[in-house]
Amino acid sequence: MGIGTSYPNELPAVNYARDVAYLEKQDDPSQIHQQQPQQPLRRCTILPQTGRQRVIWAVLSLVVIIAVIGGAVGGTLGRRSTASVNSANQPPTPISSSPATAPTQPRSIKANSPLGVTAWRKVTGAELYLYYQGQDNVIRLSKYDSGRGLPTQNNSYWLEPAAAAAAATSNTAISATTVVYQQIYQPQTQTYFFNGPNNQLSGVNHNTLWNPPNNADGINMYNRTADQRSSLASYWPYTIYQNIDGRLVEVQNVLGGYGEGTFSPSGDYAAQTLEILACQGSGIAIVPLSTAFETVAQPGGYGIVYQSLVGSLKTFIPNAQKTTNVSRSWPPDVTLPDISFPKGYAIAAFATARLGDRQNRTNTFILYQDTDSGIVALRQDDDLSWRSSRPAALAKADNGTRIACITMPMSARNADLKPLALEEASAENRCYFQRDLAVVEVQLKGTDWVELGTVPIP
């Protein structure tokens, strides 16, 4: 189940219990078009000629009769099952239930696919969750697990991609974030996207402690409609999208235990339209402005990066006037340089804890695609200025690519019931974009960027 006590099991036109399981089966090459080895044909006469042949003939006849009866019963049960399935909402593109006759589903990532990525650190290693959209519009997950011991695909720790949600809209955006809270969320990943003709904000959460682990998220109940070109950005407990009038909208999980300082996940969400008017299709990024979750979860605790109506890069702190202890991560007198780039080009950002800082301030890193298709990196890690660079690892990207970056999670109560603070810069601070359709993985290393390779996606 999802956050809270009860959620609907379905999104509009999506049945996760059925479709995700089937899609995962489709993604498993070992489950497709398998046939039993045929027995060699044996030559025999049409009618029994001897006593021995008559016995064999009788046995074969009995087997045929049993098979016919079994086929009739099995067919009846199959029809009943199909009738039951058809009574539920169907996915946008029906998929045959027979692997032998089902068309081959395109699994490869689409050009300029939406990308969403999140991560968490466990006792042994780290897990990274990269979400993308296939050519069939199905949202898939490639998972990286450095705690598994031996590398897997392409001598890496990336596992075989699997279906994460049934089909979304063809022009959807994707965002992802991680919930870490006590023993029950270790972790729970939240994936958001748009679904249906009204471009409704939808979500799926994944928690291996639930059965089944994939469930529709409570956000689906709120019927939030986005602009057809809207981007998405998430960092728990916030998700940001663009409304049909061009304004940005904040959707926040209504955390429990504010008075007690527990800040526990709930099944409720609240939305507010922000005083930000962005260009249509503006990229959106969100970063925490404190290393302490109890600060991030309150007004003024996070910042947004977006593109203005005239195409310039902008930052904004929602409800900044309600707090004084957070905006120091972005000093009001340290503004972004005058940066303009093609409207609708990708924006991504992430944050790390500022080394040795006693005020729980963060460092912010922004990536955006420029006119020449190269990706520009900005960083703000002091109270002096934003610094811009063009790292070689980011110099070449597909025109119109999406970009996704990892900010490690934090929590008011981890499994040991102690706070989990935002990490300082680590090997898990990575970003992803497409080059020649492949998903390139780059890593922040000091103040420079290094290319780690490509994510193995069939």
Instruction: Please enumerate, as own/partner, the contacts of 252-257 that have beta carbons within 8 Å and a separation of 24 or more.
Output: 253/3, 255/297, 257/412
Own/partner pairs, 306-309, CB within 8 angstroms, 24+ separation: 306/248, 306/276, 306/278, 306/282, 306/347, 307/278, 307/279, 307/282, 307/283, 307/341, 307/343, 307/344, 307/345, 307/347, 308/277, 308/278, 308/279, 308/282, 309/246, 309/277, 309/278, 309/279
Query: How many whole angstroms separate alpha carbon 11 and alpha carbon 9?
Result: 7
Reported as a single tens digit per residue, the pLDDT across 264-278 is 999 899 999 999 999
Between CA 176 and CA 219 the distance in angstroms is 14
392-412: average pLDDT: 98
Share of the chain above pLDDT 70, in %: 74
- Structural domain contains residue 95: no
| Three-state secondary structure call for residue 270 | strand
CATH code, 287: 2.120.10.70
Residue 152 falls inside a structural domain: yes
Is residue 100 a part of any domain in this protein?
no
Structure confidence by residue, pLDDT tens digits, 27-41: 443 333 333 333 333
The 10s digit of each residue's pLDDT in 43-102 is 333 344 455 455 444 444 444 343 433 333 333 323 223 332 233 333 332 222 233 334
Work out the pLDDT band at 16, boundaries 50, 70, 90.
Answer: very low
Find the mean pLDDT for residues 397-408.
98
What 3-state class would DSSP assign to 400? coil
Of 274-283, 301-310, 314-323, 353-362, least confident by mean pLDDT is 314-323
Residues 6+ positions from 182 with CB-CB distance below 8 Å: 264, 413, 414, 415, 417
More confident residue, 221 or 33: 221
What mean pLDDT comes out for the span 349-353?
A: 98
Predicted pLDDT of residue 326: 60
Instruction: Determine the Cα–Cα distance for residues 408 and 178; give it in Å rounded to an integer.
Output: 8
Answer with the residue of higher pLDDT: 151 or 453.
453
Does 96 fall in a domain? Answer: no
Region 360-376: mean pLDDT is 97
Mind giving me the DSSP string for 303-371? EEEEEBTTSBEEEE-TTGGG-SSSGGGS-TT-PPP--B--TT--EEEEEEEPTT-TT--EEEEEEEE-T
- Mean of the pLDDT values across residues 420-436? 97
Closest residue by Cα to residue 12 from 160, 121, 165: 165
Top pLDDT among 83 and 219 is at 219
User: What is the predicted pLDDT for the residue at 165?
Assistant: 87
Average pLDDT on 288-303 reads 94
Domain assignment present for 16: no
CA distances from 96 to 17, 32, 91, 202, 367 (A): 16, 12, 11, 25, 42
How many C-beta neighbours within 10 Å does residue 135 have?
A: 14
| CB distance 432 to 130 below 8 Å | yes
Sign of CA dihedral 214, 420, 414, 267: negative
Going by pLDDT thresholds of 50, 70 and 90, the confidence category of residue 327 is low
Whether this prediction's pTM lies above 0.85 is answered by no
Asked if residue 62 belongs to a domain, the reply is no
Domain count of the chain? 1
Q: Residue 238: is its pLDDT beyond 50?
A: yes
What pLDDT score does 368 carry?
Answer: 98
For 114-145, write each residue's pLDDT tens digit: 999 999 999 888 999 999 999 999 999 999 99
Position 109 in a domain: no
Stretch 300-307: mean pLDDT? 96
Segment 175-215, tens digit of pLDDT:
999 999 999 999 999 999 999 999 999 999 999 899 999 99
Confidence of residue 458 (pLDDT cuts 50, 70, 90): confident
- Kindly provide the b/e burial profile for residues 328-340, where b requires at least 16 CB atoms within 10 angstroms of the residue's own CB: bbbeeeeebeebe
Residue 256 CA to its chain's centroid (Å):
25
pLDDT value at residue 287: 98
Its domain, for residue 190, covers: 115-454
Q: Where are the beta strands (DSSP E) in 123-161?
A: 126-133, 138-145
Burial category of 4 from C-beta neighbours within 10 Å (exposed 0-12, middle 13-18, buried 19 and up): middle
What is d(CA 399, CA 404) in angstroms, rounded to the nearest whole number? 15
Query: Helix or strand or coil: residue 73?
Result: helix
In a domain, 299, yes or no: yes
Per-residue pLDDT at 71: 36
pLDDT at residue 328, rounded to an integer: 78
Kindly report the length of the chain. Answer: 458
- Residues 275-296 have a mean pLDDT of 96
- pLDDT, residue 325, reads 57
| Per-chain mean pLDDT for the chain | 81
Contacts of 243 (CB under 8 A, 6+ apart): 225, 226, 227, 230, 249, 273
Enumerate residues 6+ apart whose C-beta is below 8 A from 31: 25, 99
